[in-house]
Structure 1
Amino acid sequence: MSAATTSSLKPWPYAAGYENTPEVLEPTPLTVKGTIPPWLEGALYRSGPGTFDLKSESGKDIHIQHWFDGLGQIHRYEIQKGGLVSYRSRNTSDDLRKRYEKAETVTGVTFCNRDPCKTIFQKFFTTFKIAAVGGPVMSGTDTNVIVMPTLNFPGLKEDVNGRKESSDQPKNIRNLVVTTDGNAIQEFDPVTLEPIRLFSYGDIDDALKADNLTSAHPCIDQETGEYFSVLLTFGPTSLYKVVRIKQSARGPTHEPDLDVLAEIKSPRPTYMHSFCLTKRYVVVAHWLCDFASWGLSVIWYGNAWESFKAQDPNTKASFYVIDRHLGRHVATFECDPYYAFHTVNSFDDGDDIILDIAAYKDHTVIGDYYIDNLRDEVNGKPTQQAVLRRYRLANITKHASLSAESHTEPKPAPAEIVFQLDPSINFELPSINPSRYQYNYRYVYGVNRSGLNNTPIYDRIIKVDIDKIKLGDQKEAATFWMEDQCTPSEPVFVKTPGATEEDDGVLLSIVLDGARHTGFMLILNAQTMKEIARADMPEGKVAPHNFHGMFAPNMRD
């Protein structure tokens, strides 16, 4: 926030993005202003929470307390030939909603929902029950899976005699799944968004049934088709499993191949939302957001937030480097403590690894996202902001050789901070040109809070020129899009066909227009950060502030 007092800042109506949002089951035409590039044809998928307030069967109010616990909703913006745009959405956890309504409260383990009325006996009984018989069996739509939409997940065996594809489904889309921080994945129809099934990594391989958490963001090598995730098992010694899944060489109608590339033991069970991938390595970014009591605190409190330990300034953050071809933990690096939700990009630089991360000073940022705080447009506490930080992990081969010779776990070496943006250029929800993923790159896009307006969340889309940062020119490194009283979401980059320049493409963002209490899909020229077109939602229709999205181009031939 700038030096101006909160009372002197311009009001910024954004709270409508945290209201209940009815689903739109049938495609609804949007009103297009401007000219959509004729090559831009496909579907933008978005996922995140869409319901926060419920009524029980007896009429009692039920309030979901935290943004991360809002009941899921998935969205599809289809850009059709001729510049037409339609929108539809669907709730994704109806069985969970019914369970809350019947119980007249939020039940089960959540991310941040507090239950001050739960007695010591109830806590003990719940802890004992889960420890004795394991977690609840997933079924129907009884689990909230809301973070990251992903196409063509290789962990699904295709049934040639099973359900038929929709005639509207592009040929390049085999399936659509959404992942979350728990060991749960939900599949949806790519066109109608109807939930199909709910499963875990343990349903792909029995060896993963006991794993408690996983990174909500997978890493996917688009050139090889390999899908990577990191799973965590709680215990006195935490176990991180680095997993690779790929389609069977015999084809999609056969069971997929799944390999556990490495198992890393650590005394710190940590909430890790994402990790890093290069062409040679998987890097587990082990920042500071540690569970107390070996993870059992989650069951005791019934939520993750209260079970996190305060950050210890004397505990180092770590980077575990796994050789994805040898399937071995080859190096470990350490740095001062920090926290992150999102890695940006990573790539091999000779025998070094470069990692870019949206870094926070600590995990208390999670507490800023309680709904009552976010809905308070007058006195809401500004959320802690992240900065773009680059790390270098040097001489990987040397460290790998030393650990191989000694037959021991790699000894930690220091990680170098190459640069960091000034906190005034805060940065989150990163997006890059997908063709530059795992390669050296120049441009990254995200959202930013200007500090010019009375809003605790983002009010600008930001473009960062990394080449200018490396030259020390931070002032000129950032370019912004901003519109009065409008709150943007994560921008998604779509490359212009045949482009040779890295930033030749468009950015797609879903924007809340707080002044008109509606929203629109924004299309920006990624080079100039100027608007090309927008597709307005129907009057009074708001798309909620959601988490992440991805674009699927149409390929029907």
Structure 2
Amino acid sequence: MGRNKSGNKSGNKNKGHVKSASVEKVADKGQAKAAPVEKISDKPSGKPWPYAMGYDNCPEVLQPTSLKVKGAIPSWLEGTLYRSGPGNYDLKSESGKEIKIQHWFDGLAQIHRFEIQKGGRVSYRSRNTSNDLRERYKKAEMLTGISFCQRDPCKTIFQKFFTTFKMAVFGGSPLSGTDTNVAVIPTINYPGFKADPDAKLKNGQNPNVRNMVMNTDGNVMQEIDPVTLEPIRLFTYGDIDDALKSSNMASAHPCVDPETNEHFNVLLSFGPTAVYKVVRTRQSSKGAHHEPDLDILAEIQSPRPTYMHSFSLTKRYVVINHWQCDFAAWGMSVLWTGNAWESFKEHDPKSKCSFYVVDRHLGRHVATYECDPYYAFHTINAFDDGNDVIVDIAAYNDHTVIGDYYIDNLRNETSGKPPQQGFLRRYRLNNIPKYAAASSLTKGQSPKPAKAEIVFELDRSINFELPSLNPSYYLRNYRYAYGVNRSGQNRTLIYDRIVKVDLDKVKKGDSKGSAKFWIEDQCTPSEPVFVPSPDAKAEDDGVLLSVVLDGRRRTGFVLVLNAQTMEEIARADMPTGMMAPHNFHGAFVSSLKV
């Protein structure tokens, strides 16, 4: 890398699971509602709570292992499902000292690969991808360096500051391919890796997967072998372009235009004035086997360095969702706290949030909008609507939700605190060309802010997180959003349902009637991944894939749902001993010719 950068269309209902089916039809209205769920009132004898096992250490499965399929997987569903997230929390040093990772976001990375093959066969493998970091922790008998939320009451502020400052100024050991934690989301076919056009596919390799890169909130990425899941190397945006060496953070969720294959991200540099850089990476004009082109489209200065996990993209604009989760002391607070969580300022109800709009084609910050404060992990989708932009977000009242995900709390299913729940909200940014034309700006200035309009909000009783949609409708006006939801009917402190939301109904005021659910007793689903039917006639014509923790069997399964009805089509059971930890995000890549 150089200067420029690195079956049946809808399936059949699984007859073997009718009694535990997640939805039941209302005959006269055709709606679906959650089936009654038995509440868990007593701890299973001699066993941990069935949901808490999602925070146990998950064993690696290095060789492909066949799963037992129940039901009929659609014949057109062939490809690879990747899942990423934390897989290990409890370590032990050579001296026998226990090392406890305290927060869900700091769990050591583990990648999972489910291969759905012709004839409805499914195989599974997984791998830990931060082994050098694990060994560093074990040798030091503690978490070292900067974490997301790890607290160390035995160290004084001055000790933390000195250790981290010394690393920042004098540098530490060179990073190996597994010496950091990169666990949030996989990006498939990242531009910037020279590929041998004559290379033969590995056994089991998906022909549509050239490479895979893992992303996280820091300015670091990890290349992973897409078949064996072996880590290959770590690299930063600064390795791609020298102008990005000073960037401290990057959004963990890059945005990719599926038509142009342009990759976008937003990087943050700490300092008395925070600097956000909007970056576009794309295939070189010289061809796919040359180093790609990287452009810094805009630099936006702000007094607020903010932790931004994701942002929004449309066909015309990049939208930085500058919500409220601000670092104290210009971001330098991370040096003496040693973690991000304790370095955040308290929520300020008087501080406005912003939307910075950057023209993708002009490479210019053209408009700014403001709204009342909120926080979010995830944007859902965005699209151009005439001269306006629509932005959908899974929002929270404030960023204190991050503190709800400490492991001790999540494992305590008798008296633990349920995390603050997100809610689906739509914003409209009106008449962007008007504000773009009115702004004749010198470098570093921002357009005068206009007001962002809240179009609607899903009833907050239908909480919503880990969003997904039909990828064919990404960057387009769309009707259906999918995610996970906490019903409150089960003991689990996180989500226990998959939810489908009809946004057209929400717009018309029918918020409660807009949702359909899948739920099964003592089961915890992961983020649903939509796979469209190859001959789809409707937006919701396809299936949802979710890796589900099954607390009853103390293992997991891959769930295949009919995305229209939210009824089960099939599942692939993992063998006993192979559990499905609570993970973050995933991606499905069809292996059929495209």
Alignment partner of 1:373: what SS?
Answer: helix
Aligned AA (1:492): V
Alignment partner of 1:364: what SS?
Answer: helix
- 1:389 paired with 2:425, answer yes
2:194 to 148, 157, 180: 157
Q: What CA distance in whole angstroms lies between the structure 2 residues aligned with 1:199 and 1:370?
A: 29
Alignment partner of 1:441: what SS?
Answer: coil
The residue aligned with 2:57 is: 20
Alignment partner of 2:504: what SS?
Answer: helix
CA contact (8 A) 2:78 2:591 kept: yes
- 1:218 paired with 2:218, answer no
Q: What CA distance in whole angstroms lies between the structure 1 residues aligned with 2:491 and 2:192?
A: 45
The residue aligned with 1:347 is: 383
Aligned AA (2:88): T
CA contact (8 A) 1:10 1:454 kept: no
Structure 1, 401-410 or 367-376: larger mean CA deviation: 401-410
The offset of 1:323, in angstroms, is: 0.2
The offset of 1:423, in angstroms, is: 1.2
When residues 318 and 194 of structure 1 are mapped into structure 2, their CA distance, relative to the original with a 3 A threshold, is same
The offset of 1:251, in angstroms, is: 1.8
The residue aligned with 1:235 is: 271
The residue aligned with 1:527 is: 564
Q: Scaled by the length of structure 1, what TM-score is found? A: 0.96
Structure 1, 314-323 or 247-256: larger mean CA deviation: 247-256
Q: What CA distance in whole angstroms lies between the structure 2 residues aligned with 1:388 and 1:240?
A: 26
Q: What residue ranges of structure 2 are gaps of 5+ in the alignment?
A: 1-38, 44-48
The residue aligned with 1:428 is: 465
When residues 131 and 60 of structure 1 are mapped into structure 2, their CA distance, relative to the original with a 3 A threshold, is closer
1:311 to 344, 347, 359: 347
The residue aligned with 2:221 is: 185
Alignment partner of 2:209: what SS?
Answer: coil
CA contact (8 A) 1:170 1:556 kept: no
The residue aligned with 1:497 is: 534
Alignment partner of 2:320: what SS?
Answer: strand
The offset of 1:77, in angstroms, is: 0.5
Alignment partner of 1:424: what SS?
Answer: coil
- 1:49 paired with 2:86, answer yes
1:299 to 335, 345, 352: 335
Q: What CA distance in whole angstroms lies between the structure 2 residues aligned with 1:399 and 1:169?
A: 48
Aligned AA (1:537): M
The residue aligned with 2:182 is: 145
4+ runs of 1 displaced by more than 6 Å?
7-12
Kindly provide the CA deviation profile for residues 391-450 of structure 1, in whole angstroms up to 9, marking residues without a partner as x. Answer: 000010000001137885200111000000111000000000000000000000000001
CA contact (8 A) 1:345 1:356 kept: yes
Alignment partner of 1:319: what SS?
Answer: strand
Alignment partner of 2:135: what SS?
Answer: helix
2:233 to 183, 197, 202: 197
The residue aligned with 2:71 is: 34
The offset of 1:138, in angstroms, is: 2.4
Kindly provide the CA deviation profile for residues 448-493 of structure 1, in whole angstroms up to 9, marking residues without a partner as x. Answer: 0011222210010000000000110112100000011111010000
Kindly provide the CA deviation profile for residues 6-51 of structure 1, in whole angstroms up to 9, marking residues without a partner as x. Answer: x996877201110000100000000000000000000100000000
Q: Scaled by the length of structure 2, what TM-score is found? A: 0.90
Q: What residue ranges of structure 1 are gaps of 5+ in the alignment?
A: 1-6
Residue identity over aligned pairs, in percent, reads 71
Q: What CA distance in whole angstroms lies between the structure 1 residues aligned with 2:357 and 2:193?
A: 28
The offset of 1:131, in angstroms, is: 4.3
RMSD: 1.7
CA contact (8 A) 2:158 2:336 kept: no
Structure 1, 501-510 or 112-121: larger mean CA deviation: 112-121
Kindly provide the CA deviation profile for residues 218-259 of structure 1, in whole angstroms up to 9, marking residues without a partner as x. Answer: 000010010000000000000000000001121232111000
Q: What CA distance in whole angstroms lies between the structure 2 residues aligned with 1:240 and 1:159?
A: 35
- 1:109 paired with 2:156, answer no
Kindly provide the CA deviation profile for residues 123-142 of structure 1, in whole angstroms up to 9, marking residues without a partner as x. Answer: 34224324423576422200
1:413 to 440, 444, 450: 450
Give the alignment of 1:323-362 within 5 angstroms. Answer: 323-362=359-398
Give the alignment of 1:125-144 within 5 angstroms. Answer: 125-133=162-170, 137-144=174-181
The offset of 1:540, in angstroms, is: 3.1
Aligned residues: 550
Alignment partner of 1:27: what SS?
Answer: strand
The residue aligned with 1:373 is: 409
The offset of 1:516, in angstroms, is: 1.5
Q: What CA distance in whole angstroms lies between the structure 2 residues aligned with 1:9 and 1:339?
A: 34
Q: What CA distance in whole angstroms lies between the structure 2 residues aligned with 1:501 and 1:404?
A: 44
CA contact (8 A) 1:78 1:85 kept: yes
Alignment partner of 2:506: what SS?
Answer: helix
The offset of 1:314, in angstroms, is: 0.7
CA contact (8 A) 2:300 2:446 kept: no
The residue aligned with 1:509 is: 546
1:272 to 296, 299, 308: 308
The residue aligned with 1:402 is: 438
Q: What CA distance in whole angstroms lies between the structure 1 residues aligned with 2:157 and 2:165?
A: 12
